[in-house]
Amino acid sequence: MKQVIDARGLEPPQPFELVMEAIADLRPGEGVKLLLDRMPYPLFRILDRDRYRYESRVRDDGVVEIDIVAP
């Protein structure tokens, strides 16, 4: 089952630190789901650089969901 990181309500940079720790442990093809209060644009930059695949969406309740898959 995919790991879910609920980083809502945390002060920056804690959400960033949590997700970086989580994705560092992923094996190729494995993924995590990240829940946030807002779109993490700086994180996308790092995910792109390190060739992670990701999809982001804003739920109806305003929560931002990001599925990240390791390269």
State how far the Cα of 59 lies from the Cα of 68, in Å rounded to an integer: 16
Residue 63 C-beta: closest distance to another protein, Å? 11
Residue 51 C-beta: closest distance to another protein, Å? 12
4-63: which residues touch another protein (CB under 8 A)? 9-13, 16, 20, 37-39, 41-42, 44-46, 48-49, 54-56, 62
Q: Which spans of this chain sit near another protein (rule: CB under 8 A)?
A: 9-13, 16, 20, 37-39, 41-42, 44-46, 48-49, 54-56, 62
